[in-house]
Amino acid sequence: MSPTVGAIGVLDLQGGVQEHLDHLQRTGVAARPVKHAAELAGLAGLIIPGGESTCLARLLTIFGLRAAIEQAYGEGLKLWGTCAGAILLARENVGEAPFFGLIDITVNRNAFGSQLDSFQCEALAPAVAREPIPLTFIRAPKIVRIGSDVQALLQTDDYVAAAEDTRILVTVFHPELTPSLAFHRYFARKCGLSVAEADDAGLDPGWTPLSWTRFTPHA
């Protein structure tokens, strides 16, 4: 199958893959899972989803995708890391070695505590949407420092929850687990793709927490 030029890929090794694919398709953007290096061809952007960062790091190495993603990034590929993906993209991780180290931020892994400390809230990210966006934090990290070339898109209390530089977007929460398409639209535009403008929080009334299961094969 030939690559779809201008599509956004979702790293398909572990984590919230189908949920991101569902959101991307709801924005009208061509999207596909990426499990092998050859599947990076023709992509405008790649989402590294939430999951478990140590597991993802090992799988990226096993599948030979680490070097391939670094090469594609050097050739212009845009990247978005959500939760564990943000940890992998960070230049510094508190108490552990970085993985890709491509965006000048410092991340504190599991900063909110255990899985039981996961939570939901709403917050305003003015560059992304004009109305507050629903946020889902699951065993989330905190961005505790951003470099001079990095812009905070959402800051609350003592940490940054979303940030970007010219090539990379990072969020410590999970936009794919909410009805809001705002961050997926934002990343698509960052990748140079055309999507419909949305002045509100970008809520899709047709979304449900089980919408992603339409990608699951049925017997």
More confident residue, 203 or 171: 171
Q: How far is the CA of 7 from the CAs of 53, 165, 209, in angstroms? A: 25, 21, 24
36 given a catalytic annotation: no
pLDDT of 118-162, one tens digit each? 768 899 999 999 999 999 888 788 999 999 999 999 998 789 999
1: pLDDT confidence band, cut at 50, 70 and 90? very low
Q: Which of 39, 164, 176, 191 is catalytic?
A: 176
Residue 191 annotated among the catalytic residues of the structure: no
Give the gyration radius of the chain's Cα atoms.
Answer: 16
Contact 146, 155 (CB under 8 A): no
Task: Reply yes or no on domain 7-215 having CATH 3.40.50.300.
Answer: no
- What pTM did the predictor assign? 0.91
Question: Which is the catalytic residue, given 19, 39, 83, 164?
Answer: 83
Q: CB pairs under 8 A, 24+ apart, for 41-44?
A: 41/3, 42/3, 42/4, 42/5, 42/6, 42/7, 43/3, 43/7, 43/8, 43/9, 43/72, 43/77, 44/6, 44/7, 44/8, 44/77, 44/78, 44/191, 44/192, 44/193
Q: Where are the domains of the chain?
A: 7-215
Instruction: Tell me if residue 174 is catalytic.
Output: yes
